[in-house]
Amino acid sequence: MNRLIRFFLENTHLNHVLLAFLLVSGIYAYITIPKELFPDIMLNKIAISGAYPGASANTLDKMAVRDIEDEVGSVNGIAEVDSIIAPGSFGVILTLDDEAMPDQALDKVKDAIANIRQNLPPDMNEPVARLLDHSRDLIKLAISSETLSFDELLIEAKRIRSRLLKMEHINEVDIYGDSDKKIEIKIDSEALKAYDLNPSDVIGVIKNLSYTFPIGDIDDEEQFIFVSTVNGKATQKGWEETLLQIGSRYLYLKDIAAVKIHHPRDVTLASFNGKNSLTLSLSKDTTGNSIELSKILHQKIEAYNHEFKDIRFDLYHDNSIPIKNRLNVIISNLTLGLILIFFTMYFLINRNTAIVVSLGVPFAFIIGLLFIYIMGYSINIISLVGALLVVGIAVDDAVVVSENIQRHIDEGMEPSAAALTGVKEVMFPIIMATLTTVVAFMPMFMLSGEMGLLIKLIPVVVIMVLFGSLLESFLFLPLHAKTLLKKSSPSRDWSWVTDRYERMLHLMLHYRKTTLMIFFIAVPLMTVGTMKMLHFQFFPSFDGDKLYITGKLNTNTKLETTFDIAQKINNDLLSDRDELFIKSISLLSGKRKNVSQEWVRGSNMFYITIELHDMVDTNFVNRYINPILDLSFEFNDPAKIRTEYSYKMADIIRARLKQYEQQYNFDEFAVMERKVGLIKSDIEINLISNNDEEIQKAVSMLEAKLHSIGDVNDIINNIRYGKIEYKIKINHYGEQLGLTEGYVASILSGYFLGNRKAQSYDESGVVDITTEFDDKDNISKLIDFDIPLKDGRFVVLNEVADFIQVQDYESIVKEDGNIVKTVTANVDKIKTTATQVLEKIQPTLDAIAASGIIVDIHGEEEKKKDLKRDMLRAVGAALFLMLILLLFIFPKIKYALMILSVIPFSIFGALLGHLITGMHIAMPSIIGMLGLAGVVINDGIIMLDFLHGTRDTKAFYKRAKQRLRPIVITSVTTFIGLSTLMFFATGQAKIMQPLAISLGFGLLWGTVINLLYLPTLYAFVNKIRPEYGEKLKTEAREDIQIQSKVEGV
């Protein structure tokens, strides 16, 4: 290593060319690396979907879902099986283990589905299994027209969709308001009576009006010919004039039915800013650059507006805007941190050392960025927060090296020799100190699930930048130091500080037992006391740019009615859009994201997305400093007009819409804020029991208790009864007539089950042909339905069958095969925490559990338990790894244990920082404390490495004073590097603010421990007494007496 350092020190041209190459490579990597708001935290999952129109949720569960759950439950690699069953359709989500191979697991799941195919109805399509895409929302596109019809507009929207899907990195484009083209044949039941026709015979004839499969081929000696049909009639008129033979009668289709070829609006409806529209939701893959893709899309849409004169295109919910804004803010904060560090070193050391360090740190980050780019990670808030955390730590290496080189130059050594000697002296302790920081962050990779995916970028960034810092400090910094550091610019005089430090050490040594007792007893007591004054909250609140309104009406509500009600809410909010700081508002009816952040479908559901204007900058740094650092110079950005935080706006809108909640008696209604994907609902309680009556009582009891607690919102349960189901049972008279369940069901399903009877083709692709009787939606028609007998007579259904009326749950939610009833709620994080609310409802939960109901707590509490389990493993691993590294430096284990003892004492500083700043303890706080362990013992290593081997008092004081300046400088620069995140975090960056508080304040207190506690403990263990300090006190008294005499003269 020494030869390599000398080689780079002597080959200046190579050194400079390598730096230039790193600079260019870093710029290229930053431009091309994907940029996101958050990293992808979705686990590998397999989705199984199936449908059978007309079946209730309970019937589908018995008919298909149970068998699927049983079969896939035996597949290796599946951690969880979650099912949601609604009338007519179901979905099963399989969450895979971290070790599972997704493609292999998918093949096994498909085999499992094939095994149960024989148990499914013959006319039911086989359930489809697929891997869930790791796609990210990018932007929304609203398409509207004043002149085109809905069908014409939809055709154009599908063409636009095809174009957009051809873009690189665009992997999904959904159309809200879309529907498939259909040929609807509505049969007139009165006409059938007039012509004395059997409905089943009519349906049988219509099924054969179109044939879409190949007929065959002819291969003679002259040519090869394919044979097929024209796939039915091409126009509505052609269908209406189709001649039918039904029995002995010949009739035109128009005589007994009305034909309509159109796109029925029966799935979803959409609007943008109060106007009906079609909405294209664009998603990108994980490697696409959101900012670059947004630029391209804006250019394309501008071209579309010129190309399509009758269509208006509006882009909204552009996720690249908050990404760009947040990244600019954090990068500006990072730059500000480097500037502050420069001035700190300028005042604490000297100008040239500050320049040397400030030149080196950016290259350490460039090296780290190149590693991150090669590893395939993205730039996002989490990775940039990691950069903010490590900026002060990365400076430490450069400060220690340059300060040591400057010390040798001040002592008279030539710059070249000083550079080489200065690096060699501190190389081993720096490497070991860096490794201790690395091993403190490495156990973060042990965090499991989505939490691990969210956090892992922090240790990746920290480790890569620290590695870059080592390379820069040993290979490039010595050349800068040789050129810039001069004896003519000596370091600042620290004698006044070191003298006072020496006197303080003397005092500590004089009362060494008392001092150590204070640390061993008082500090732990203060730590416990401070901890009891704080509460846990998994993530702190942050200001977002979107709010969401999710609603669910009575299960019998039609799609158009749901849309009209939601549109009233839309228009109400738009009437005061300036006062509510609304930038845009979009509505989707027929599909919504519920309080548990799951997408569900239904004609009675709607989802409103409110995009808010940007928040006015509220602190000096963001208002006046960042616009300079990001080169925008927008000190009063006109786009930033909102003066209330998003969570305050949620309260205002929630209160405003209370009237609608009461007027329409919503089954579910909530105003939601944006959440980190890790936590779906703050409080989620699952109840499992076979006794429906007891479950309902428990849910009512639990909801009443939650309502009695203030600051709890969006209290919702999933116990909702669905549509009434009539079960038909053939009675004794019917059996005497030879009727069976199967025969009667086949007759009735042809009449009441309005499903696909055949298919056709046109220029757009496959077109379904559906039949429906005009009076099928009449209960009396079912009861008085004429059932044909084999002898040609008819009998009324209610004479041959009994009707059993049942009402099952609207939907069934299952976890690992168990049907669960769930109560979810969110809390006002400014006023309380989920943990505090759970403590208040714990007696209620205990009472429910005592009644025999299984209580399973999810939400934030579940994640907290997972965090506790993972952190115990991580802390244990980190401590053992650090102990191993310390034993490389200090062969005697007592010295290694002395340094490790600094870690638990430093926790008090982290907790005190939260108390001072008014922050709750959060998951990032715990992560910060784990990282603090590695950072705080770095200074301990620096101190004990110099004290090691000291036995006499004079040498003890001298060596301790030599380590004062580098320890103070590294701690101050680290704290300043973290200061922008600790005190000026905005938006989603506030999620990681507790992490910076833990590190920053913990390190400040850790500095006190390393400067006072650790030397005192070393002196106590090695029986060093403060005699030298007594001599100093005598000399100080003599100096004061002499000075007094001089002044008297």
What is residue 662's predicted lDDT score, i.e. its pLDDT?
Answer: 84
| Co-location of 394 and 254 in the same domain | no
Question: What does the pLDDT read at residue 488?
Answer: 67
Q: For residue 1043, what pLDDT band results from cuts at 50, 70 and 90?
A: very low
Question: Does 584 or 57 have the greater pLDDT score?
Answer: 584
Question: What mean pLDDT do residues 173-201 have?
Answer: 85
pLDDT, residue 1040, reads 47
Within 575-715, residue ranges assigned H as helices are 620, 626-629, 646-656, 658-664, 692-708
Return d(Cα 320, Cα 677) in angstroms, integer. 18
SS3 388: helix
Judge if 371 and 306 occupy the same domain: no
583 Cβ contact partners less than 8 Å away, ≥ 6 residues apart: 611, 612, 613
State how far the alpha carbon of 39 is from the alpha carbons of 43, 456, 531, 682, in Å: 12, 10, 31, 21
Q: What is the pLDDT of residue 327?
A: 76
- 786 and 901: one domain? no
Tell me if 639 is assigned to some domain.
no
- Mark whether 205 and 254 lie in a shared domain: yes
CATH number of the domain bearing residue 750 = 3.30.2090.10
- Chain centre distance of CA 535: 23
Considering the domain architecture, whether residues 409 and 444 belong to the same structural domain is answered as yes
pLDDT in tens, 446-481: 887 777 777 888 888 888 988 888 888 888 888 888
User: What's the pLDDT score for residue 1002?
Assistant: 92
The number of beta carbons lying within 10 Å of the beta carbon of residue 130 is 13
Q: Using alpha carbons only, what angle is made at residue 530 by residues 524 and 531, rounded to the nearest 5 degrees?
A: 90
Final residue belonging to a domain, choices 758, 775, 797: 797
Distance CA 64, CA 120 (A): 6
Q: Report the pLDDT averaged over residues 418-435.
A: 83
pLDDT at 17 over 80: yes
What CA–CA distances, in Å, run from 592 to 89, 284, 569, 680, 689? 16, 21, 15, 15, 28
Does pLDDT of 187 surpass 50?
yes
Best-predicted range by mean pLDDT (97-101, 363-367, 478-482, 735-739): 735-739
Domain count across the chain: 6
Q: Which one, of 1005, 998, 946, 938, lies nearest residue 397 by Cα?
A: 938
Answer yes or no: do 144 and 286 share one domain: yes
SS3 content of the chain, % helix, strand, coil (to 5): 55, 20, 25
Q: Are residues 304 and 453 in the same domain?
A: no
More confident residue, 402 or 255: 255
Average pLDDT over residues 889-907: 89
pLDDT of residue 1047: 43
pLDDT given at position 756:
60
529-541 pLDDT, tens digit per residue, is 999 999 888 888 8
Q: Strands 668-673 and 546-552: what pairing?
A: antiparallel
Which amino acid, one-letter code, is at 429? Answer: P
Q: How many residues does the chain have?
A: 1049
Rounded mean pLDDT of 56-61? 85
What is the distance between the alpha carbons of residues 510 and 382, in angstroms, rounded to a whole number? 47
Decide if 63 is inside a domain. yes
Backbone angles phi, psi at 135, to 5 degrees: -95, 160
Strongest mean pLDDT among 550-559, 763-772, 775-784: 550-559
Asked whether residue 241 carries a pLDDT value surpassing 60, the answer given is yes
What is the residue whose two structure tokens read 């395939």?
A: 376
pLDDT score for 755: 62
- Report the chain's mean pLDDT, rounded to a whole number: 84
**Given 673, 690, 719, which residue is the final one in a domain?**
673
- pLDDT above 50 for 1029: no
Helices 923-947 and 457-471: crossing angle in degrees, nearest 10, is 30
pLDDT in tens, 64-96: 888 888 888 888 888 888 888 888 888 898 888
Is residue 866 a part of any domain in this protein?
A: no
- For tokens 């115990």, the residue is 872
Rounded to an integer, what distance in angstroms lies between the CA atom of residue 654 and that of residue 638? 27
User: For residue 1045, is pLDDT > 60?
Assistant: no
Q: Which residues are within 8 A (CB) of 355 and not within 5 positions of it... i.e. 6 or more apart?
A: 342, 480, 484
Report pTM.
0.79
- End-to-end CA distance of the chain: give it in Å, rounded: 62
Q: What is the CATH number of the domain that holds 73?
A: 3.30.70.1430
**36 HSE (CA, 13 A, CB side):** 20
Instruction: Locate 970 and state its tokens.
Output: 């590294």
Which residues does residue 686 pair with via DSSP β-bridges, in sequence order? 822, 856
Q: What is the pLDDT of residues 931-962, one digit of tens each?
A: 888 788 878 887 888 788 787 888 888 888 88
Give residue 560's pLDDT. 92
Q: What is the largest CA-CA distance in the chain?
A: 141
Instruction: Find, among 174, 166, 137, the residue nearest to 40 by Cα.
Output: 137
Do 155 and 304 share a domain, yes or no? yes
Question: How far, in Å, CA of 679 to CA of 659, rounded?
Answer: 29
Per-residue model confidence (pLDDT) at position 1036: 47
The token pair at 693 is 């009556």
Q: What is the residue type of 647? A: Y
Distance, in Å, from the CA atom of 180 to the CA atom of 154, rounded to the nearest integer, reads 10
pLDDT in tens, 21-40: 988 998 898 888 888 877 77
CB atoms within 10 A of CB 365: 22
CATH number at residue 9: 1.20.1640.10
Cβ neighbours around 446 below 10 Å, total: 16
Per-residue DSSP letter, 146: S
Q: Closest Cα to residue 917, out of 978, 994, 987, 974?
A: 994
- Pull the structure tokens for residue 883: 């102990």
Token representation of residue 244 = 């039918």
Is the same domain home to 174 and 246?
A: no
Residue labelled with tokens 């080196």: 360
CA 889 to chain centre: 41
715-752 pLDDT, tens per residue? 888 887 777 888 899 999 999 999 999 888 888 887 77
Q: Kindly state whether residue 163 falls inside one of the protein's structural domains.
A: yes
Predicted confidence (pLDDT) at residue 1042 exceeds the cutoff of 70: no
| 588 DSSP β-pair partners | 270, 607
Q: What pLDDT is recorded for position 1028? A: 46
What's residue 570's pLDDT?
92
In a domain, 850, yes or no: no
Report the pLDDT value the prediction gives residue 97, as an integer from 0 to 100: 84
Range of the domain at 1011: 495-533+890-1049
Nearest C-alpha neighbor of 488 from the set 415, 426, 402, 421: 415
Q: Are residues 468 and 347 in the same domain?
A: yes
User: Is residue 1035 domain-shared with residue 932, that is, in the same domain?
Assistant: yes
- What is the pairing mode between strands 765-773 and 182-187? parallel
User: Cβ distance 393 to 470 under 8 Å?
Assistant: no
3-state secondary structure of 660: helix
CATH code of the domain containing 276? 3.30.70.1320
Whether the per-residue pLDDT at 842 is higher than 70: the answer is yes
Does residue 636 surpass a pLDDT of 80? no
Residues 219 and 141 in one domain: no
Instruction: Give tens-digit pLDDT for 660-674.
Output: 988 898 888 999 888
| Residue 910 confidence class, pLDDT cut points 50, 70, 90 | very high
Does 82 fall in a domain?
Answer: yes
Q: Are 452 and 445 in contact (CB under 8 A)?
A: yes
Asked if the structure places residue 857 within a domain, the reply is no
Q: Is residue 392 part of a domain?
A: yes
pLDDT score of 1032 more than 60: no
How is 949-1001 classified by DSSP, letter by letter?
T--SHHHHHHHHHHHHHHHHHHHHHHHHHHHHHHHS--GGGGGGHHHHHHHHH
CA angle 192, 198, 202 (to 5 degrees): 80
User: What mean pLDDT is predicted for residues 227-241?
Assistant: 87
- C-alpha torsion sign, points 573, 578, 579, 584: positive
% of the chain residues with pLDDT over 90: 17
CA angle 71, 74, 77 (to 5 degrees): 125
The secondary structure of 290-341 as a DSSP string is HHHHHHHHHHHHHHHHHH-TT-EEEEE--THHHHHHHHHHHHHHHHHHHHHH
- Answer whether 80's CB lies under 8 Å from 94's CB: yes
Judge contact between 582 and 657, C-beta under 8 A. no
Of the CA atoms within 13 Å of residue 38, those in its CB half-sphere come to 23
The pLDDT of residue 1046 is 40
pLDDT at 677 > cutoff 70: no
Element (H, E) at 626: helix 626-629
What pLDDT, on the 0 to 100 scale, is given for residue 629? 74
583 has a pLDDT exceeding 50: yes
- Residue 633's pLDDT band, with cuts at 50, 70 and 90, is low
Q: CA of 442: how far to CAs of 48, 438, 457, 932, in Å?
A: 36, 6, 11, 13
pLDDT band at 908 (very low <50, low <70, confident <90, very high): very high
